[in-house]
Amino acid sequence: MIEPVQLPAPWRDARLTVVVPTYNEAGNLPVLVERLLALQLPGLRILVADDNSPDGTGEVADKLAIEHPDRIEVVHRPGKEGLGRAYVDGIGRALDGGADYVAQMDADLSHPPEALPGMLGALLSTQAGVVIGSRYVPGGELDENWPLYRRALSGWANLYVHTLLRVRIRDLTAGFKIWRADALHDIGLERVQSNGYSFQVEMHYLATKLGHTILEVPIRFEERREGASKMTTATKIESALMPFRLRSKHRNIER
């Protein structure tokens, strides 16, 4: 586990909301929340967007919110509609709640919460619209236990999207990042069409088309501790088709 960067005031007091979509993450969520709340970021809030998990993740989130009423909010969604829809809902609520910065991260402990202070510092010390915790920049790492087929799929997906969209990001499918609120307002969540994991690519593409600087910092990506991956065949098909849709739909996008 990395040692979190200690940010100076007033940076550490920034109003940062971490949006965490969940589906069947009852075992991982309490561990993630404990690690997030241990960070020296008093302005950090957590918004859990649960898609009616059958394993009781929503109830676990509610208990955590009762224990930390000023720092955790839970959104109960009617069912599993995809990662993209959960993020659009959660990010929209975070912005409505007054967040100046919004982080995205998975609940499966693959993204190290301890990297957030350093990512926030990188955002605040530059003019970037978003900072990505990247697996594929120098210094970035993949857990040695990450399956070979997942490595191949991730590498192929990045090459495929790079070829079609010409976006200069090494980790185009990354799901761990911090956005400035004004960049999110500029993108406009109403524009976002993706339901699944292609949400990450669409957001990066829109940010690039609108001229926002995207900064990548290295992280170590861990294999999930409990539960199973949510990647389905339908998700893979959507992800394969999305670059063509993005080029057509957002061809003439302007601020």
Q: Which domains are present in the chain? A: 11-250 (3.90.550.10)
**Model pLDDT, residue 223:** 72
Per residue in 183-223, pLDDT (tens digit) is 999 999 998 988 877 889 899 989 998 999 999 999 999 87
Residue 141 dihedral angles phi and psi, to the nearest 5°: -140, 155
Cα–Cα distance for residue pair 232/73, rounded to 1 Å: 28
Q: Which residue has the tokens 């609108």?
A: 210
**Model pLDDT, residue 168:** 82
**Model pLDDT, residue 2:** 79
Low-confidence ranges of the chain (pLDDT < 50): none
**Model pLDDT, residue 147:** 67
Asked if 39 and 113 touch (Cβ cutoff 8 Å), the reply is yes
Asked if 9 and 37 touch (Cβ cutoff 8 Å), the reply is no
**Model pLDDT, residue 184:** 98
**Model pLDDT, residue 23:** 95
Cα–Cα distance for residue pair 223/251, rounded to 1 Å: 36
